[in-house]
Amino acid sequence: MRPIVTMTAAASLLLAPSIAGAAIVPGPLADLRAQLATISARAPGHVAMEIEDLQTGLSSAINPTASMPAASTIKIPIMVEVFRQLAVGNFDMNTRVTLLPSDRDWGSGSLSDARPGTKYRVVSLLRAMITVSDNTASNMLLRLVGRPSVNHTMTSLGLLQTYLRDYIRTNGDGIRYALRSSPRDMVRLLTEMAKNELIDEWSSREMIAILSGQRHNTLIPEPLPSGLQIAHKTGTLDDTLDDVGIVFGAPETYVIAVMTTNLPSLSAGRRFIRRVSSLAYHDIERFGFWRANNGDALDQTTPASSGMDTGPVQNDLTTPAPDDSAAPQAEPTAKPR
């Protein structure tokens, strides 16, 4: 059993301001920004995205601060709060949570069909919430840690556009307004996780392991080379597709968040996100080689915006639907304490 680590002020969850907006983006990252601007101008529906190179903190973005329907990507903040409370000793991975009738949501996952009163370990609920996007598992964990606690932690992180106004309920139109985030918030959260600095090193590594077991792999991973480790979470409503994650690559690791809504069809959204993912991978790879040969040029950058932000996105009221499904992948490596 891993010992509980009490967080000190120095190891708290507060994030340092991103440097992405403090430098002119050089070389291939400038090319990436131009390409993102071009395809976003022709995008189906409303889109927002950010891609950040982990090594330098430089990013390319379009509408990165736009408030968007988070759909099931909101389960990452829920997971973060679970690990924060694990770290302070509120419970452990083997703590059992009892299924209540009020936890059940049939939008995604199979736990909704389980008998009320059934008990599940926290580690099992975490895996179900992330890898197969089980809504009932999410609501059980949200009840365990408290929805206000999730929102408070996100606020303390400076992620002011990430919040839950309700539990996960897919039987009405309100979900698109109840669960919100932005690409920048998701990138900041995942960047700290990728640096092993979110809560503590053990927690960051465990969360990455769970995210790497994702079974819905039809968006960011689809156009990328096989064998890459991609720790990510998707989200789907009937006119919304999101995918946010960490792509561990050579020579560069990067964080990517792509959020789309008001889509004419989900297939159009899939094509768009796959296109962004492909562009990001190839230009970040080029940037790694560029940086190896032009590292000194990074010291001579001057303040400038890292992307285009055209303000808030207006969304129509629509009926939610469950996440896309994909072929099962390997089990996550996170282990119960």
pLDDT given at position 307? 58
Angle at 262 between CA 159 and CA 133, to 5 degrees: 60
CATH of the domain at 169: 3.40.710.10
pLDDT given at position 308? 55
- Cα 244 to chain centroid distance, Å, stands at 4
Between CA 276 and CA 36 the distance in angstroms is 7
Residue 333 lies in a domain: no
Residue 318 lies in a domain: no
For residue 79, is pLDDT > 60? yes
pLDDT given at position 172? 84
The β-bridge partners of 121 are: 96
Residue 5 lies in a domain: no
Split into its structural domains, the chain has a count of 1
Between CA 195 and CA 103 the distance in angstroms is 33
Angle at 195 between CA 190 and CA 197, to 5 degrees: 90
Exposed / middle / buried, residue 318 (Cβ in 10 Å: 0-12, 13-18, 19+): middle
pLDDT given at position 293? 85
Question: pLDDT by residue (tens digit) across 101-156?
Answer: 999 998 888 899 999 999 999 999 999 999 999 999 999 999 999 999 999 999 99
Average pLDDT, stretch 87-110? 95
Tokens of 180: 């919100």
User: Cβ distance 50 to 318 under 8 Å?
Assistant: no
pLDDT given at position 209? 98
Average pLDDT, stretch 44-63? 95
Residue 121 lies in a domain: yes
Percent of the chain with pLDDT over 90: 73
For residue 318, is pLDDT > 90? no
Which residue type is seen at 201?
Answer: E
The β-bridge partners of 227 are: none
Between CA 302 and CA 25 the distance in angstroms is 9
Between CA 221 and CA 209 the distance in angstroms is 16
Between CA 64 and CA 178 the distance in angstroms is 20
User: Cβ distance 130 to 210 under 8 Å?
Assistant: yes
Domain that holds residue 86: 20-308
The β-bridge partners of 290 are: none
For residue 326, is pLDDT > 60? no
Question: pLDDT by residue (tens digit) across 3-41?
Answer: 333 333 333 333 333 333 445 667 888 999 999 999 999
68's enclosing H/E stretch is: strand 68-69
Residue 337 lies in a domain: no
pLDDT given at position 300? 55
Mean pLDDT for the chain? 84
Residue 39 lies in a domain: yes
pLDDT given at position 24? 66
Residue 334 lies in a domain: no
Between CA 322 and CA 109 the distance in angstroms is 9
Q: Which range is least confidently modeled, 15-19, 59-63, 203-207, 284-288?
A: 15-19
Between CA 321 and CA 323 the distance in angstroms is 7
For residue 84, is pLDDT > 90? yes
Between CA 183 and CA 180 the distance in angstroms is 10
The β-bridge partners of 254 are: 53, 247
Residue 209 lies in a domain: yes
Q: Which residue has the higher pLDDT, 334 or 280?
A: 280
For residue 264, is pLDDT > 50? yes
Question: pLDDT by residue (tens digit) across 181-233?
Answer: 999 999 999 999 999 999 999 999 999 999 999 999 999 999 999 999 999 99
Confidence at 53, pLDDT banded by 50, 70, 90 = very high
Confidence at 282, pLDDT banded by 50, 70, 90 = very high
Q: Which residue has the higher pLDDT, 70 or 8?
A: 70
Question: Cβ neighbours of residue 207 under 8 Å, at least 6 residues apart?
Answer: 79, 80, 83, 193, 198, 231, 334
